[in-house]
């Protein structure tokens, strides 16, 4: 089953991007899935959700961030064990599992696909066996209407939405920050709509780009700016 999943993913990436990138990514997938002991590889165009009457018009397809890029991003974040990591558009839970591996003990995920949420919970249960102190919650919800947890101070996004939903997500983040002032980091992979955050006062503190598709930024909203806006 795993072999079929890897082959399917390899050809999907190869035909949609190119086979040089596909070979690089599939090697990372095999290594990462083995390292963390989870199952998150794959690509899903969300057709099954559309068949169930769920509106996917503002969602991008499911495709997990590469393990190498994800691990690089965690190295750039402050080593603060009390941080609350929240993944908006969490898919099958890869970023949350890597967060647990990196010492985060308070983890939240949200996705509008119940199937993805079930997969995420299964993967996080495996991580909890390794890290019993880790607590997690995964919610099936529409990101446009999702209230950002008041303690969430490290948010993860892998370009899961179009500009309509992303604008609403940014609004929700700012509302949470105004109500509960705090320093907040946003880890944004494939940051197509980064300007939405910069316009609200976020500052880019890290940026990386390899080849054409492996790009990410870390944004920070300073605490002083938050207090001035609250």
Q: Is 136 helix (H, G, I), strand (E, B) or coil?
A: strand
CA contacts within 13 A on the Cβ side of 59? 23
Helix extents (H) in the chain: 2-16, 19-36, 47-51, 67-76, 94-101, 114-130, 163-179, 194-198, 223-229
Residues 12-27 as b/e (b if ≥16 CB within 10 A, e otherwise) read bbbeeeeeebbebbbe
Q: Is the pLDDT of residue 176 over 50?
A: yes
What is the predicted pLDDT for the residue at 191?
94
More confident call, 111 vs 161: 111
pLDDT for 188-202, tens place per residue? 999 999 999 999 999
What is the predicted pLDDT for the residue at 2?
81
3-state secondary structure 165-185: HHHHHHHHHHHHHHHCCCCEE
Q: How confident is the model at residue 61 (pLDDT cuts 50, 70, 90)?
A: low
Q: Which of 6-15, 48-57, 128-137 has the lowest mean pLDDT?
A: 48-57
182 within 8 A of 223, measured Cβ to Cβ:
yes
Return all residues near 54 (Cβ < 8 A) that are at least 6 apart: 112, 113
In 3D space, the residue among 201, 141, 140, 139 whose CA is nearest the CA of residue 170 turns out to be: 201
pLDDT for 196-229, tens place per residue? 999 999 999 999 998 767 899 999 998 745 444 4
For residue 85, list its beta bridge partners. 107, 154
Residues 41-67 as b/e (b if ≥16 CB within 10 A, e otherwise) read bbebebeebeeeeeebebbbebbbbbb
Mean pLDDT, all residues of the chain = 87
Q: Is the pLDDT of residue 38 over 50?
A: yes
pLDDT for 14-37, tens place per residue? 888 788 888 988 999 999 999 999
What is the predicted pLDDT for the residue at 229?
47
96 within 8 A of 136, measured Cβ to Cβ:
yes
Q: Is the pLDDT of residue 114 over 60?
A: yes
Q: Is 150 helix (H, G, I), strand (E, B) or coil?
A: coil
Q: Is the pLDDT of residue 183 over 70?
A: yes
pLDDT, average across residues 77-84: 80
Q: Is the pLDDT of residue 50 over 60?
A: no
């Amino acid at each position: 089953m795993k072999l079929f999943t890897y082959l399917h993913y390899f050809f999907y990436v190869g035909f949609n991007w190119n086979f040089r990138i596909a070979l690089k990514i599939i090697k990372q997938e095999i290594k990462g899935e083995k390292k963390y002991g989870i199952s998150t590889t794959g690509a899903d165009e969300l057709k099954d959700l559309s068949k169930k009457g769920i509106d996917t018009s503002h969602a991008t397809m499911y495709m997990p961030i590469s393990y190498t890029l994800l691990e690089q991003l965690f190295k750039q974040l402050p080593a603060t064990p009390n941080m609350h990591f929240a993944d908006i558009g969490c898919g099958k839970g890869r970023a949350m599992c890597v967060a647990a591996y990196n010492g985060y003990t308070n983890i939240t995920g949200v996705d509008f696909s119940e199937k993805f949420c079930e997969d995420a919970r299964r993967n996080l249960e495996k991580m909890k066996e390794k890290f019993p102190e880790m607590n997690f919650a995964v919610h099936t919800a529409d990101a446009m209407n999702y209230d950002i947890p008041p303690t969430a101070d490290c948010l993860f996004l892998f370009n899961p939405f179009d500009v309509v939903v992303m604008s609403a997500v940014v609004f929700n983040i700012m509302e949470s920050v105004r109500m509960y002032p705090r320093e907040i980091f946003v880890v944004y992979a494939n940051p197509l709509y980064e300007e939405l955050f910069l316009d609200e006062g976020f500052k880019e503190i890290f940026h990386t780009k390899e080849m054409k598709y492996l790009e990410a930024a870390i944004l920070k909203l300073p605490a002083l700016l938050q207090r001035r806006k609250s």
